Amino acid sequence: MLSAQEIEKLSQEFETQTPQEIIRWAIKEYSPNIAMSSSFQTQSMPLLHMVSQIDHTVTVFFIDTGYHFWETLMFREQIALEWKLNVFDLYRDTRWDTFALQNIRKLPVDDPNLCCYLNKVQPMQKALQGVKAWISGIRRDQTEVRAHAKILELQDDGLLKVNPLLNWKKADVENYMKEHDLPSHPLLEKGYRSVGCAPCTIAIGVNDDERAGRWAGRGKIECGLHTDMFKKKKLTEVQKEFQMEIK
């Protein structure tokens, strides 16, 4: 197992290497205890394509929140089949079912942070137990939070987060898509340049920031997978923060 100092050194060295080189290193170092996550939106295609070309047996976690656009679910099926991906769907903990179903319409609007925690963050936390490395597709140019990320990030529980596309820009994604003739999410042509859950995603203008359609007007730019929310492990911590009583 690599030390924190070795990981920090490698992370700095990877700043000048290609995403494919970083992915190959991660798979060689951590396979079979490695997985990647994907939302199967347009900007997810390059990383999914790279991993499929290097090792299509790598587990791809897809978080099925129950709020996805139908187009997202169909696109996920199409890509998984055509690229022979090893996709594993994640769902919220059944302990939340009664509460979630009672608030299924108002939760994304009234408390999007709690909605993301129940339907995205906690399922991913559970799925990553026993996994040693997690490949993520975040880029520094996407949000202020991601601007400070590192290519290799050692989590408190020992999980290594690997961000191969961290230095890429929007243009890099577009160029790779064209070079490899990759398909786009079917909602892209309708103005959905960053696609999340249906209640929290709107179409935007051609000159808007690509994530401007996510949680518009709600003071939120991240689902929580790549923030401090992901570090919350105990149910009691969540109940206290959101003042909930779960029976």
The catalytic site residues sit at 223
For 161, what's the count of Cα atoms within 13 Å in the CB-facing half-sphere?
23
User: Are the C-beta atoms of 141 and 209 separated by less than 8 Å?
Assistant: no
161 Cβ neighbours under 8 A, 6+ residues apart: 133, 134, 136, 152, 153, 154, 155
Rounded CA separation 96/127 (Å):
17
For 164, what's the count of Cα atoms within 13 Å in the CB-facing half-sphere?
24
56 Cβ neighbours under 8 A, 6+ residues apart: 83, 84, 85, 86
Rounded CA separation 20/24 (Å):
6
Consecutive H or E run containing 34: strand 34-37
